[in-house]
Structure 1
Amino acid sequence: MRKYFAVTFLLSIMMANAQILDKTAVNLAYRYTGRNVLQAGLEFRFGESNYKSVIIGPSILYTRINETNKFIPEANINYINNGLLYGASINPYAIEPRIGISLFNLLFLNTGYAFPIHKEKYFKGITVGVQFNIAPNHSKFYDKMKVM
């Protein structure tokens, strides 16, 4: 009986893992948040609709601060409604709400404002960014273009 439950449990993990990977993409981005920042991370899409979805993910930011290389963790969430993007990200130095546009979830163009939350105000002020999401072929991460 234990073997039956063990096999069932392993199969359910594999099926869930396949569904998770089907809606996952790698992001590469450039942002200006008071300084030049490069970003790389993962994105996971919730929702089946081509019009509304939520995308969350962790990222690593790379920037130079005081002539040293810094790698800073970040978490972000984006809500996409008919191509309009509303989102926020948080890292140890700032909280950044943002708005922008999404082109089929392949490209995000956004702007926002970084509010410093640390005594060192490395990230502050108006932000501008462009993000590319790279997913495998036949992925459910991208929106499909509708032809009328």
Structure 2
Amino acid sequence: MDFNKLSGRLIIYCLALILFSFRTNAQNTKSESTIPQWPILYVNYSIADKSLFTGGLEFCLDCKDKNKLFLGAGYGITNSYNGNYYGLPDVHLSYNTEYLLFVKAGSSSKNAYAVGGLTVFNMIDLGLGYSFPYNKEKIPTYEGFTASISFRFTKNKGAYTKLNIIQ
């Protein structure tokens, strides 16, 4: 499959997901399980054998609960080989607990990964994990133990964990 077609399809799917979320909210105002009105913009930096900078959109699938479930799609850039930059579409699912812990599993066109670690009010995720390449022969490969940091920006205050101070 041509890489440009794959990245174009990812953009179309992201736009369709955004439009569907606005339409669902407009029609289902009484439903308790709607996709939030405001998508979350996320930025992620990961380093394994190469560095990877990813940005995209996330949706909080369960913002009313104290434990949050995020579904995200984005696009990453890596400087893998010979000074060339390569793009990798990314899809992930992240489960963040109220106890400042998270676990995330995701996939791109070249690898699958699992990351776990600490979250700071669901605004910042600091994680360690492992990335598995689908095919070690084709470039770019992104494999090995992974350290990552993610930032979330949104107007949807339900996506963030509230600070409870005991009085």
Deviations 1:103-134 (A, max 9, x none): 11100001101111123261111000001101
Matched-pair contact (CA < 8 Å) for 1:33–1:127? yes
Query: How far 1:59 sits from its partner (Å)?
Result: 1.2
Matched residue SS, 2:157: coil
Does the C-alpha gap of structure 1 residues 32 and 79 become closer, same or farther in structure 2, counting only changes over 3 Å?
Answer: same
2: CA distance, partners of 1:12 / 1:32: 37
Deviations 1:57-98 (A, max 9, x none): 101101123222212101011112222111111011111111
Q: Is the 8 A contact 1:22 1:141 kept in 2?
A: no
1:95–1:17 CA distance, 2 compared to 1 (3 A): farther
In terms of fraction of residues, the more strand-rich structure is 1
Consecutive unaligned residues of structure 1, counting only runs of 5 or more, are 1-10
Of 133, 141, 145, which residue of structure 1 is paired with 2:159?
Answer: 141
Residue 49 (structure 1) aligns with: 65
TM-score by length of 2: 0.73
2:143 counterpart residue number: 124
Q: Which amino acid aligns with 1:145?
A: L
Q: Aligned pair in 2 of structure 1 residues 63, 141: CA closer, same or farther (>3 Å)?
A: same
Question: How many pairs are equivalent?
Answer: 136
Would the alpha carbon gap of residues 17 and 124 (structure 1) be closer, same or farther in structure 2, given more than 3 Å must change? farther
SS of structure 1 residue aligned to 2:162? coil
Q: CA deviation at 1:33?
A: 2.4
Q: 1:15 to 1:113 in 2, by over 3 A?
A: same
Q: Which amino acid aligns with 2:130?
A: Y
- Residue of structure 1 equivalent to 2:118: 101
Residue type of the alignment partner of 1:36: S
- Give matches, 1:1-148, under 5 Å: 13=24, 15=26, 20-22=35-37, 24-47=39-62, 48-50=64-66, 52-66=67-81, 67-81=83-97, 82-118=99-135, 119-120=137-138, 122-136=141-155, 139-148=157-166
Query: Residue 5 of structure 1 corresponds to which residue in structure 2?
Result: none
2:36 and 2:60 in contact (8 A); partners too: no
Identity score, percent: 19
State the structure with bigger RCO (CA 8 A, min sep 6), 1 or 2. 1
